Copies of this chain bind each other. A is one copy, B any other.
Amino acid sequence: MQLDEWGEHARRAFYELRKTTSNKRNAALLELAKRLEDNDQQTQILAANAKDLQEGEGLSGALKDRLRLDKNRLLSMARAVREIAALKDPVGEIIQGHRHPSGMEMVQKRVPLGVLFVIFESRPNVTIDIAALSLKSGNAAILRGGKEALHSNRALHRLITESLQTVGLATDSVLLVTDPARELMLELLKQSGSIDLVVPRGGEGLIQFVSEHSRIPVVKHDKGVCTLYVDRSADLALATQVAINAKLQRPSVCNAIENLLIHREFARKKELLEALNEAGVELLGCEETRQILPQIQPIPTEEEYATEYLDARLSAKVIGGVAEAIAFIQRFGSGHSEAIIAEDHRTIEEFLTGCDSAALFVNCSTRFHDGGEMGMGAEVGISTGRLHVRGPMGLGHLTTTTWVVLGNGQTRS
């Protein structure tokens, strides 16, 4: 297939998909789950994955872990596909409707979004997740995974193609870009006539590249520089457990915290910082924090507070109160997730009104900023943009709408 034909091929598949029923698309998903659970298929996928791991010997331990597949991970991929198949189809949902004074029935309903171009890195389960979410909602998808997972993605994509064939859906419904050249990605980013949405998931460099070069609307899944503010009215035990969870439960994800702000008048500053230190958090901090706990390393510059560590590191700062916390978040945060630990009602209100982020947490962990936790069943990612969707991007966000107006001769005067 020529570079400039990818979008067109996917678009034609989309026009076919639009006409299919949920039943048929679910059947393809169940075929896919069955294949992921099949012993022979598993052997082939794991062999392909072993090849990726071998070629990626120079990769970091964390990256290798993200890349590595085993039987359990394949089974949990199959389970995710079955869960997606069991979700309610967003297509056809009536969003609003009313009768026009002239008697026309006006109804706005969800229809598939179109052709999605999803760009992601390393984790091969994303290939299956995105393919399943796209098919479920009647969209065609062009997938571009990281080159370090190429063999695994090829093997997984073969299962998708076979599943489509088995139930009689167009195999172009899910295309996989196997050429890692950036030129190919650039070429696809220009095909605004046939591709409707680009979703980049990955590092800052990728997101910036896509945002700058795309002629197609982009829903970004950008970095999370998330902040936890501990007010003077906070409960120590609660602050400690939430801070440790928000930093350490899974440091490599976007909804983990990178900054900890503590009210100067919070009496238990020392205990909080000590607990974090003992839990294994590598602390950096301002002068005041270092006077409390000398093990804290000094913050090199203020800009450090805008860094996404994706690691057990945390930057701490002592501040004067909630207004200062809001100003700090406005300056250094990425608008992803912020949390406050406080018992004082008015302080909480001020924090919630002053912060303009995708999700705000009161006395609980930022780690709950997640489609599954927020009741969406499955997510394409977490959008850090302000248009179309902000926060977890679920199945419903893979649709657009059509107004259908039924009349009997109405004309406008």
Contacts and interface: CB of A to CB of B under 8 A. Distances in A.
A409 interface: yes
Given A15-B356, A106-B368, A113-B386, 11 more contacts: A15-B330, A19-B353, A100-B375, A238-B408, A241-B409, A242-B410, A249-B412, A359-B402, A362-B405, A363-B407, A364-B405
Interface in A381-413: 385-388, 390-391, 400-413
Contacts of A357: 402
Contacts of A413: 249
Contacts of A218: 217
A261 interface: no
A167 interface: no
A367 interface: yes
A387 B197 contact: yes
A138 to B, nearest CB: 11
A386 B100 contact: no
A108 interface: yes
Given A19-B353, A391-B401, A249 B411 contact: yes
Contacts of A18: 353, 356
Contacts of A405: 359-362, 364, 368
A403 B362 contact: no
A79 to B, nearest CB: 19
A134 to B, nearest CB: 15
A224 to B, nearest CB: 14
A141 B197 CA distance: 26
Nearest to A348: B406
A407 B364 contact: yes
Contacts of A219: 387
A304 interface: no
Interface of A: 15, 18-19, 98, 100, 104, 106, 108, 111, 113-114, 192, 196-197, 211-212, 215, 217-219, 235, 237-238, 241-242, 244-246, 249, 330, 352-354, 356-365, 367-369, 373-375, 385-388, 390-391, 400-413
14 contacts: A108-B391, A217-B386, A238-B409, A242-B411, A359-B403, A363-B408, A364-B405, A364-B407, A364-B411, A365-B407, A367-B411, A386-B400, A387-B388, A387-B400
A410 B211 contact: no
Contacts of A246: 411
Given A245-B411, A245-B412, A369 B104 contact: no
A388 B402 CA distance: 13
Contacts of A407: 361-365, 368
Nearest to A385: B217
The 8 residue pairs across chains A and B that have the minimum distance between CB atoms: A364-B407, A245-B411, A367-B412, A359-B403, A364-B410, A386-B400, A388-B388, A387-B388
A365 B411 contact: yes
A335 B245 CA distance: 48
Contacts of A114: 386
Contact of A386 (B108, B196, B245, B373): B196
A404 B362 CA distance: 8
A223 to B, nearest CB: 15
A388 B405 CA distance: 21
A391 B357 CA distance: 27
